[in-house]
């Protein structure tokens, strides 16, 4: 899992048009509840919410591609289901000094082509990312590396960079010599060359992804295999492309698939009531947010932004209106799973009380002042732009409705198709006077929740600073956070960042979603990974302490 | 006039129609405000080289009439370029979905005929009686029901209560397999019932007409059993009108398919078109619309010719 | 076209007139053809006698009234229509009563935002009805002149227009509408525009056909001999005559247009998602089916169905009123 965050329903920065992650689009009702796969056909394992666009780790920028890739490729260091770093292809590492790290690699790890992994492959894998869509995975820290032996490599950082491990977890190890998308080649789209427990079998657009078990997976030879088997518990992973969450739901109820990766919050009670289904949940590393065009129109006024923020009915939305408790409201960008010292309840509550919590009286005062300072008349007309993601549409409607019911605003919801939406936010969004609704998926490091969104050098289209917000103090704090090691030292820095963001309100952080997946009873012990790009890592990730039992 | 002359005349008329169809489709991308490529890429960070490539692909540097000719030339060879989103060859994408829609269309037509012909016959026979009135009501129902609503209701009934059909397209099975056909059945019924409304009334009225004819009275007078009369002569003659109209139902069925494929998540051309619209994938939108238009023009042509062949009075 | 042996049939002769005519009336022959007016009058008489058609008309009128009086209408700040039949506002969110089954309090139940579906259905009628009438009206407005021009002038104008009609007919209506929306975008007027672009075709053909068959009639030649200009001839003489089939077609088309608009709304190509338009309401309902929330799907669909059925009854009635001999049962109405 890389430190580089991603707009939920991810986009590729460089070549936007190539995105095929059609976000939950046209409401498609699944067909009909049916007996498993019609007459004895075996059920597929799971679902993908959109087409995968590539199977090359260096080229993937969307969640579906990443979920497939995650089955076939591995990094040196991984983050487990509680977001703690674990050794995967590296069995150990040490921090020599602030800019030097040494990694000891496992021996006897085979790639899918039979070759053994060595330090040379690691070096090539890291450098392979340069010049690709995912160059940020290495560009923030990589300076050079030295091969100290077949199984030992030293990485030299260009600066002290705390999110380094998180970034490194996003580097998939491939054989040296594998050409790179930066050269225009995507050899891994046809054949996988990873170390993961599954290898690529086939891909059919709008239909399915198939991966088969890799018999020589390295865990079998490891000394401390523990409770986990040496190879994957199933021969084949079959993932169907089913865009609409309701269709996914119909599919699992009907027994057509055994796992789904999108459970609409509204269906949570139904899943819990169904004896054949298990609801798997975990905290996520995401947040939904509302972006204000801070450089245009009345939104330049901080009171305006804060007034709107104070109106937003988070409790309603997180509760009955939309999420049914599968999201937890947030005032800072950090989700609960980051834990101490980045997140604590008191701090969150304080931000809510002082700056951003729902408070209609405070909102009214702020808006009155804002309107008179900006010289605008009520009701002020504006739009919230969103894509077709049904849950997002819904909470946008709720917010728009809440604002429109006051005398201050007339807000409509502008639902855009995915590609237009992406094109809008990476382009002119900063100059319009519409609000934008968005979701953000980050990583295990707190930096990934703020840097790409708020730094001055991350203005779109270079980064994801969509409204071109610029704050020097924030920039230097973020810089400090990046270059300081040790959670205890970093904690206060990031809290300061959160406080500035709460005061300035360039965006309103709304809530943090939980990761929800559902599985049928043929699968036991499934876990959902907090990251949205490793949905099926719960199948078999012994290095992260997870494996299912499968009766399929 | 002779059949040959009629065919020739019809073909002659069809050519300008086809040209206009292609022209309309071509104009679609040029009706966009501004330059088509600029419109498609206006918000993204595309380097100049790719822009030039796209412009070359669309021949945008040529005068517009030349662009049309070039595009037409490509279109005839079924060369539509690549999908913007998936980067696959457009023709391939369409051809991979086409069989499903064809299957759906054929089954819909089948359903329509199975419903409409017997009911039309009975209604004609029992003209004025209850059966006739009932069929009339049914016809009205068929035309008035929103087809997507019917589809949703069918899902509601068969899904929440019964559960007889697969949820996801059983694409691992071949097109004509039992699984696939079962999956197609419900959407086919949805489209077919609406189509059958029209066909049934037509069957009825043409049978009524036939039954009044001299040869029927003659056959009855001769003492032929009623069944022979009806089946051997009347039905066959009535079918002419029905069969030719059935061919014209293709347009109706495509209309229905676009919406119904959405409702049932059916992997056909209709869904392809809607997804393309959702993602502004113009090569696919253009190619699909063109293909549909051309198909229907030819279907009409074939229907007209068949009708003329079967009923010489029609050739004007 | 029925052939009954041994009976001489005289067509175009209306027995009602004879029955009702007074023997010593002051009837005077008139030079100007009154056929158009006369036809209307008699057609209305026949229509009145058709119970199904009258029923349909009543339903339409009822639905129109409900739509108008559902919620207050304000024009430029002044309240033009103050009544509010709908018990609740169609747009207020109330999460505590969300997704409730139909009850005494909420006749049609509530949706996910706690909005009363009964109120929304009543209010939503405005969209569907207005789109139906406006789109058809505009289509007539476009199609009739074009068809008239084609028919009257003949020659290459005729050929060009008719080939265009043939070509546009080749596209299934919904496919073309979707393509148009892809280009011009979503929205109320965009949708109407798409419906008009495909909708004008039948009227052009009808008018042209009527003109062709009537062109040689004596009164036209007479008018021309008297020096009337072409335009006057077309519009004063031919078009009024040809209006009858146009009216029939238009009435039948309203149903198809409303269905098509609902389809576009359902596909998400119409109005914004929170709109109370019946098709859009159904598009939101898709996700609720498997949760057993049947009322969200049932009622908007019933509303569409009721309206379209009623207008089709009216349309059938209109057609029979104008041409009582027609035996056809096939509804040629509207779009394919």
Query: pLDDT of B121-136, one tens digit each?
Result: 888 777 777 878 888 8
Distances (CA, A) of A396 to A190, A317, A399: 40, 10, 5
The Cα–Cα gap between B147 and C172 comes to 15
**Distance between C45 CA and the closest CA of chain B, angstroms:** 23
- pLDDT surpasses 70 at C90: yes
- pLDDT surpasses 80 at A302: yes
| Of A525-529, B153-157, B245-249, minimum mean pLDDT range | B245-249
Residue in A with minimal Cα distance to C185: A416
* Residues C35-89: tens digit of each pLDDT: 555 667 777 888 888 888 899 999 999 999 988 888 888 777 777 777 787 888 8
Residue with tokens 């206060």: A492
The answer to whether residue B48 neighbours chain A at the CB level (below 8 Å) is no
The Cα–Cα gap between C249 and C242 comes to 11
Q: Residue length, chain B? A: 316
Q: What is the pLDDT of residue B85?
A: 65
Pick from B168, B178, B278, B285 the residue to mutate for testing the A interface (most A CBs within 10 Å).
B168
The Cα–Cα gap between C308 and C329 comes to 17
The answer to whether residue A379 neighbours chain B at the CB level (below 8 Å) is no
Counting residues of chain B whose pLDDT is more than 70, the rounded percentage is 78
Residue in A with minimal Cα distance to B165: A34
Residue in C with minimal Cα distance to B261: C267
Q: What is the pLDDT of residue A145?
A: 92
Q: What is the pLDDT of residue C79?
A: 74
pLDDT band of residue A27 (cuts 50, 70, 90) is very low
Q: Do A415 and C268 touch (CB under 8 A)?
A: yes
SS3 A462: coil
Which of the other chains make 3 or more beta carbon contacts under 8 angstroms with chain C? A, B
pLDDT band of residue A17 (cuts 50, 70, 90) is very low
Task: Select the residue of A15, A20, A31 nearest B264 (Cβ to Cβ).
Answer: A31
The answer to whether residue B239 neighbours chain A at the CB level (below 8 Å) is no
Q: Chain-centre distance of CA A26, in angstroms?
A: 22
* Residues A495-526: tens digit of each pLDDT: 999 999 999 999 999 999 899 999 999 999 99
Q: Which of B159, A234, B310 is nearest to C290 (CA)?
A: B159
| Of A123-137, A333-347, C310-324, minimum mean pLDDT range | C310-324
Q: Are B104 and B261 in contact (CB under 8 A)?
A: yes
Cβ contacts of C319 on chain B, cutoff 8 Å: none
The answer to whether residue A431 neighbours chain B at the CB level (below 8 Å) is no
- pLDDT surpasses 90 at A151: yes
Q: What is the pLDDT of residue C72?
A: 81
The answer to whether residue C69 neighbours chain A at the CB level (below 8 Å) is no
**Distance between C66 CA and the closest CA of chain A, angstroms:** 25
CB contacts under 8 A, B 65-124 vs C, are none
Pick from A322, A384, A397, A424 the residue to mutate for testing the C interface (most C CBs within 10 Å).
A397
Residue with tokens 């519009």: C235
Q: What is the pLDDT of residue A333?
A: 93
Higher pLDDT, C196 or C20: C196
Long-range contacts of C256-259 (CB under 8 A, 24+ apart): C256/C173, C256/C333, C256/C334, C256/C335, C257/C131, C257/C132, C257/C135, C257/C136, C257/C195, C257/C199, C257/C334, C257/C335, C258/C128, C258/C129, C258/C131, C258/C132, C258/C304, C258/C307, C258/C308, C258/C311, C259/B144, C259/B146, C259/C304, C259/C308
The Cα–Cα gap between B84 and B251 comes to 28
Mean pLDDT, to the nearest integer, of B3-9?
82
- pLDDT surpasses 60 at A79: yes
Mean pLDDT, to the nearest integer, of A271-299?
90
Per the prediction, chain A carries an average pLDDT of: 84
Q: What is the pLDDT of residue A35?
A: 30
* Residues B32-84: tens digit of each pLDDT: 554 556 555 544 445 566 667 767 766 666 777 877 887 888 888 877 777 76
The Cα–Cα gap between C55 and A275 comes to 51
| Of A11-20, A52-61, A276-285, minimum mean pLDDT range | A11-20
Read off the tokens for C324: 């009582």
Q: Do C3 and B213 touch (CB under 8 A)?
A: yes
Counting residues of chain C whose pLDDT is more than 90, the rounded percentage is 18
Mean pLDDT, to the nearest integer, of B239-258?
77
Helix (H) or strand (E) holding A416: strand A409-416
Higher pLDDT, C227 or A275: A275
Q: Are A257 and A240 in contact (CB under 8 A)?
A: yes
Say which DSSP state C190 is in: H
Cβ contacts of C1 on chain B, cutoff 8 Å: 209
Report strand pairing: A208-213 vs A152-157. Answer: unpaired
Q: Are B268 and B106 in contact (CB under 8 A)?
A: no
Q: What is the pLDDT of residue B47?
A: 58
pLDDT band of residue A22 (cuts 50, 70, 90) is very low
Beta partners for A147? A153
Residue in A with minimal Cα distance to B274: A26
Cβ contacts of A27 on chain C, cutoff 8 Å: 268, 283-284, 286-287
Q: What is the pLDDT of residue C333?
A: 40
- pLDDT surpasses 70 at A377: yes
Q: Which of A517, A520, A513, A542 is nearest to A529 (CA)?
A: A517
Task: Select the residue of C170, C179, C182 nearest B21 (Cβ to Cβ).
Answer: C170
Cβ contacts of A272 on chain C, cutoff 8 Å: none
The answer to whether residue C286 neighbours chain B at the CB level (below 8 Å) is yes
Q: Are A72 and A188 in contact (CB under 8 A)?
A: no
**Distance between C195 CA and the closest CA of chain B, angstroms:** 14
Q: Are C147 and C205 in contact (CB under 8 A)?
A: yes
pLDDT band of residue A77 (cuts 50, 70, 90) is very high
Q: What is the pLDDT of residue B92?
A: 86
Helix ranges (DSSP H) in B77-177: 90-125, 130-144, 147-155
Beta partners for A436? A291, A385
Per the prediction, chain C carries an average pLDDT of: 79
Q: Do A25 and B44 touch (CB under 8 A)?
A: no
Read off the tokens for A167: 């970034």
ipTM of the predicted assembly exceeds 0.85: no
Q: What is the pLDDT of residue A213?
A: 93
Highest mean pLDDT among A17-31, A55-69, B52-66: A55-69
Higher pLDDT, C14 or C300: C300
Q: What is the pLDDT of residue B181?
A: 87
- Going along chain C from its start, the domains and CATH numbers come out as 45-69+109-322 (1.10.3720.10)
Higher pLDDT, C20 or A344: A344
Q: What is the pLDDT of residue A214?
A: 93
Task: Select the residue of B28, B145, B245 nearest C305 (Cβ to Cβ).
Answer: B145
Cβ contacts of C91 on chain A, cutoff 8 Å: 401
Pick from C287, C289, C293, C297 the residue to mutate for testing the A interface (most A CBs within 10 Å).
C287
Q: What is the pLDDT of residue B84?
A: 66
Q: What is the pLDDT of residue A14?
A: 25
Q: What is the pLDDT of residue C58?
A: 93
Report strand pairing: A409-416 vs A380-387. Answer: parallel
- pLDDT surpasses 70 at C2: no
Read off the tokens for C275: 């709109």
Task: Select the residue of C92, C113, C284 nearest A321 (Cβ to Cβ).
Answer: C113
Q: What is the pLDDT of residue A137?
A: 85
SS3 C268: coil
Mean pLDDT, to the nearest integer, of C107-133?
89
The Cα–Cα gap between B120 and B132 comes to 9
Q: Do A413 and C95 touch (CB under 8 A)?
A: no
The Cα–Cα gap between A163 and A7 comes to 19
The answer to whether residue C108 neighbours chain B at the CB level (below 8 Å) is no
Mean pLDDT, to the nearest integer, of A353-379?
90
Q: What is the pLDDT of residue A21?
A: 25
The answer to whether residue C178 neighbours chain B at the CB level (below 8 Å) is yes
Counting residues of chain C whose pLDDT is more than 70, the rounded percentage is 76
SS3 A363: helix
Q: What is the pLDDT of residue C4?
A: 53
The answer to whether residue C263 neighbours chain A at the CB level (below 8 Å) is no
Q: Which of A391, A67, A71 is nearest to A241 (CA)?
A: A67
pLDDT band of residue C97 (cuts 50, 70, 90) is confident
Mean pLDDT, to the nearest integer, of C302-320?
89
Task: Select the residue of C5, C305, C316 nearest B146 (Cβ to Cβ).
Answer: C305
- pLDDT surpasses 70 at A42: no
The answer to whether residue B300 neighbours chain A at the CB level (below 8 Å) is no
* Residues B160-206: tens digit of each pLDDT: 566 677 767 777 777 788 888 888 888 999 999 888 888 888 778 77
Task: Select the residue of A26, A37, A423 nearest B278 (Cβ to Cβ).
Answer: A26
Q: Do A401 and C91 touch (CB under 8 A)?
A: yes
Q: Which of A233, A230, A231, A189 is nearest to A214 (CA)?
A: A231
Read off the tokens for C276: 């109370």
pLDDT band of residue A12 (cuts 50, 70, 90) is very low
**Distance between B279 CA and the closest CA of chain C, angstroms:** 10
Q: What is the pLDDT of residue B34?
A: 47
């Amino acid at each position: 899992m890389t430190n580089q965050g991603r707009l939920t329903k991810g986009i590729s920065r460089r070549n936007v048009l190539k995105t095929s992650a059609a976000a939950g689009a046209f409401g498609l009702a699944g067909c009909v509840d049916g007996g498993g796969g019609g007459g004895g056909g075996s059920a597929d394992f799971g679902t993908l919410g959109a087409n995968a666009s590539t199977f090359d780790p260096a080229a993937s920028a969307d969640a579906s591609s990443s979920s497939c890739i995650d089955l076939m490729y591995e990094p040196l260091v991984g983050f487990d289901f509680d977001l703690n770093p674990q050794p995967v292809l590296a069995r150990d590492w040490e921090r020599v000094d602030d800019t030097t790290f040494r990694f000891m690699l496992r021996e006897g790890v085979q790639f899918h082509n039979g070759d053994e992994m060595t330090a040379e492959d690691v070096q090539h894998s890291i450098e392979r990312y340069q010049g690709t869509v995912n160059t940020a995975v290495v560009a923030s820290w990589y300076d050079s590396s030295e091969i100290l032996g077949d199984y030992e490599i030293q990485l030299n950082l260009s600066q002290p960079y705390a999110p380094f491990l998180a970034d490194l977890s996003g580097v998939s190890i491939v054989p040296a010599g594998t050409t790179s998308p930066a050269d225009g080649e995507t050899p891994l789209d046809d054949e996988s060359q990873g170390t993961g427990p599954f290898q690529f079998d086939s891909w059919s657009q709008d239909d399915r992804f198939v991966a088969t078990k890799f018999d020589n997976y390295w865990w079998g030879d490891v000394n401390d295999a523990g409770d986990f088997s040496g190879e994957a518990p199933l021969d084949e992973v079959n993932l169907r492309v089913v865009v609409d969450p309701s269709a996914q739901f119909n599919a699992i109820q009907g027994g057509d698939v055994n796992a789904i990766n999108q459970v609409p919050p509204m269906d949570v009670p139904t899943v819990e009531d169904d004896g054949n289904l298990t609801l798997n949940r975990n905290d996520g590393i995401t947040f939904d947010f509302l972006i204000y065009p801070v450089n245009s129109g009345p939104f330049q006024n901080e009171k305006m932004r804060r007034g709107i923020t104070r109106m937003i009915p988070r409790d309603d939305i997180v509760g009955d209106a939309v999420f049914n408790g599968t999201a937890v409201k947030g005032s800072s960008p950090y989700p609960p799973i980051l834990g101490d010292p980045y997140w604590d309840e008191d701090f969150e509550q304080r931000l809510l009380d002082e700056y951003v919590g729902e408070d209609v009286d405070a909102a009214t005062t702020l808006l009155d002042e804002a309107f008179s300072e900006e010289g605008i008349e009520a009701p002020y007309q504006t739009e919230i732009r969103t894509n077709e993601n049904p849950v997002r549409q819904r909470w946008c409607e709720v917010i728009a409705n809440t604002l429109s019911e006051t005398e201050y605003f007339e807000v409509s919801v502008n639902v855009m198709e995915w590609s237009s939406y992406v094109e809008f936010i990476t382009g002119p969004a900063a100059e319009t006077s519409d609000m934008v609704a968005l979701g953000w998926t980050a990583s295990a490091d707190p930096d990934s929740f703020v840097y790409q969104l708020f730094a001055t050098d991350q203005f779109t289209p270079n980064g994801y600073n969509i409204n071109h917000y610029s704050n020097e103090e924030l920039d230097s704090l973020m810089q400090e956070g990046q270059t300081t090691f040790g959670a205890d030292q970093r904690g206060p820095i990031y809290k300061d960042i959160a406080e500035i963001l709460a005061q300035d309100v360039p965006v309103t952080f709304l809530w943090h979603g939980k990761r929800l997946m559902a599985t049928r009873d043929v699968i036991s012990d499934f876990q959902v990974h907090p990251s949205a790009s490793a949905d099926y890592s719960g199948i078999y990730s012994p290095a992260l302490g997870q494996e299912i039992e499968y009766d399929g | 006039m002779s059949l040959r002359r009629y065919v020739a005349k019809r073909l002659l008329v069809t050519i300008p129609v086809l040209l206009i169809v292609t022209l309309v489709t071509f104009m679609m991308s040029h009706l966009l405000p501004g330059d088509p490529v600029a419109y498609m890429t206006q918000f993204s960070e595309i380097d100049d080289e790719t822009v030039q490539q796209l412009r070359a692909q669309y021949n945008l540097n040529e005068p517009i009439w030349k662009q049309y000719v070039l595009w037409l030339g490509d279109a005839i060879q079924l060369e539509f370029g690549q999908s913007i989103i998936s980067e696959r060859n457009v023709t391939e994408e369409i051809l991979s979905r086409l069989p499903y829609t064809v299957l759906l269309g054929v089954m819909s037509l089948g359903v329509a005929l199975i419903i409409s012909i017997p009911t039309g016959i009975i209604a004609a026979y029992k003209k004025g009686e209850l059966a006739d009135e009932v069929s009339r009501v049914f016809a009205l129902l068929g035309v008035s029901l929103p087809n997507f609503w019917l589809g949703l209701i069918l899902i509601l009934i068969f899904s929440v209560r019964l559960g007889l059909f697969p949820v996801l397209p059983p694409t691992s099975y071949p097109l004509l397999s039992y699984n696939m056909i079962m999956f197609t059945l419900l959407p086919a019924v949805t489209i077919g019932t609406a189509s059958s409304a029209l066909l049934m009334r037509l069957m009825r009225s043409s049978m009524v007409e036939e039954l009044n004819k001299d040869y029927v009275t003659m056959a009855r007078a001769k003492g032929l059993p009623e069944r022979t009369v009806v089946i051997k002569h009347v039905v066959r003659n009535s079918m002419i009108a029905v069969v030719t109209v059935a061919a014209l139902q293709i347009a109706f069925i495509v209309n229905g398919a676009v919406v119904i494929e959405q409702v049932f998540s059916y992997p056909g051309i209709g869904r392809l078109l809607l997804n393309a619209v959702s993602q502004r994938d113009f090569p696919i939108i253009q190619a699909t619309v063109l293909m549909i238009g051309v198909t229907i023009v030819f279907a009409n042509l074939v229907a007209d010719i068949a009708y003329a062949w079967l009923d010489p009075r029609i050739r004007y | 076209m029925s052939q009954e042996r041994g009976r001489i049939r005289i067509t175009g002769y209306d027995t009602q007139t004879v029955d009702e005519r007074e023997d010593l009336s002051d009837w005077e022959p008139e030079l100007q053809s009154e056929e158009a007016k006369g036809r209307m009058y008699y057609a209305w008489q026949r229509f009145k006698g058709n119970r199904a058609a009258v029923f349909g008309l009543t339903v339409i009128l009822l639905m129109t009234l409900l739509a108008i009086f559902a919620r207050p209408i304000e024009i430029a700040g002044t309240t033009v229509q103050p009544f509010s039949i709908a018990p609740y506002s169609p747009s207020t969110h109330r999460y505590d009563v969300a997704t409730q089954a139909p009850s005494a309090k909420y006749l049609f139940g509530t949706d996910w935002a706690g909005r009363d579906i009964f109120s929304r259905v009543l209010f939503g009628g405005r969209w569907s009805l207005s789109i139906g009438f406006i789109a058809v009206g505009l289509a007539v407005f476009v199609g009739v002149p074009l068809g008239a021009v084609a028919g009257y002038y003949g020659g290459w104008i005729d050929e060009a227009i008719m080939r265009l009609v043939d070509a546009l007919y080749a596209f299934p209506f919904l496919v073309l509408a979707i393509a148009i929306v892809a280009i011009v975008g979503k929205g109320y007027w965009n949708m109407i525009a798409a419906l008009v672009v495909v909708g004008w075709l039948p009227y052009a053909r009808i008018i042209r056909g009527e003109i062709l068959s009537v062109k040689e009639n004596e009164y036209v030649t007479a008018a021309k001999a008297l020096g009337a200009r072409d335009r006057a001839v077309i519009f004063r003489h031919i078009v009024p005559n040809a209006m009858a089939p146009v009216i029939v077609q238009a009435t039948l088309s309203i149903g198809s247009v409303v269905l098509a608009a609902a389809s576009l709304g359902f596909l998400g190509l119409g109005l914004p998602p929170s709109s109370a338009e019946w098709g859009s309401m159904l598009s939101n309902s898709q996700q609720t089916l498997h949760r057993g929330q049947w009322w969200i799907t049932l009622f908007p669909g019933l509303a569409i169905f009721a309206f379209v059925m009623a207008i089709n009854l009216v349309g059938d009635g209109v057609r029979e009123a104008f041409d009582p001999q027609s035996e056809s049962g096939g509804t040629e109405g509207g779009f394919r």
